[in-house]
Amino acid sequence: MPEITTQDVIYLRHGERSLTARLYRPQSGGGPFPAVIDIHGGAWSGGDLTDGQGRDEALARAGFLVAAIAFRDGADGYPSSLQDINFAIRWLKSQAPEFRIRADRIGLTGNSSGGHLAMLAAMRPDDASYNTIPGFPGVDAAVQCVGMLWPVINPLSRYRHARRLRDSATPAEWVGNIPERQEKYWKTEAAMADGNPVLMLECGEPARTPPALWIQGRPNDAPHDYRDPDSPFEGNEPERFIAAYRKARGEIDLVVVEQGDRAEQSIEPLIAFFLSKLMD
């Protein structure tokens, strides 16, 4: 099995608070390597940059430099996470000579709320409210592709979905404190509608649509794979987003894996996707 190395690097500071990128690098080969930034999940109010360690190590063994990043979330509120991610993309591109990577071969990945943040960052690389942290003149935050794992692609519908289930006669166990965690970050439903890739596409907002992959565990992934009763679309949220993305001329595929072993089963299709989009 190919060897990899890991290194923690501070990529951004907010006063005395520092944000770290954990780099996973192929030990063999001289590069330059394509790179993937991994954005952790946690309902926008938790999680850690080590959450995707298994897939990050596998991607590094496949020939990618992976940067798993910490970022502001929770009470810091929307759009703080997008500001840090936008900066992280520009920072990683600026470090291309030192890290032996290709600045023109950058992808994003993330699971659950991290998949949502990855897609949103990719669709709005030049957004004035996201591109607020100065640095690296002439370097943009555009990426070449996005690999999502069961993303919470529509924060507004998921919030309402969780509230409905909790208020029902038989509350679903997964709901727990999900509504409060979303409220902590998003504050308002208006913010959930603003930072919303589904609604962006359905209302015709101009957006980047790089090649994308949605990996979905089935059956029984109620937090991510549900139908929004407020939408006229008849399918679940994965199919709804994919239809809107393709209508906007974006390339996207859906890969279904076994829900009970989704973390392990998602690694192979994720690697195959990034190999096809980031390798020459």
pLDDT tens-digit readout, 251-279: 999 999 999 999 999 999 999 999 999 99
pLDDT at 88: 98
Report the predicted TM-score, pTM, of the whole model to 2 decimal places: 0.97
What is residue 70's DSSP assignment?
A: -
Q: Parallel, antiparallel, or unpaired: how do β-strands 33-39 and 101-111 relate?
A: parallel
Q: What's the Cα-to-Cα distance from 213 to each of 27, 203, 275, rounded to whole Å?
A: 27, 22, 12
* Residue 106 confidence (pLDDT): 98
* Cα–Cα distance list, 269 to 177, 215, 254, 274 (Å): 32, 8, 10, 9
What whole-number distance in Å separates Cα of residue 44 and Cα of residue 60? 26
Confidence at residue 271, expressed as pLDDT on a 0 to 100 scale: 98
Residue 1: per-residue pLDDT: 67
φ, ψ (nearest 5 deg) of residue 123 = -80, -25
Note the pLDDT of residue 238: 98
| pLDDT tens-digit map of 33-53 | 999 999 999 999 989 999 999
Residue 46 has a pLDDT of 87
At position 152, the amino acid (one-letter code) is V
CATH class of 4-278: alpha beta
Amino acid of residue 134: P
Number of Cβ within 10 Å of residue 191's Cβ equals: 17
DSSP codes joined into one string, 102-142: EEEEEEEEEETHHHHHHHHHHH-TT-TTTS-S--STT----
Q: Are 65 and 109 in contact (CB under 8 A)?
A: no
pLDDT in the model for residue 158? 98
Q: What are the residues whose beta carbons fall under 8 Å from the beta carbon of 148, sequence distance 6 or more? A: 109, 110, 111, 115, 116, 118, 119, 212, 213, 214, 215
Residues of the chain with pLDDT under 50: none
In DSSP notation, 201-254 reads HHTT-------EEEEEEES--TTTS---TTSS--S-HHHHHHHHHHHTT--EEE
- Dihedral of CA 150/153/159/163: which sign? negative
Residues 88, 60 contacting (CB under 8 angstroms): no
CB atoms within 10 A of CB 103: 18
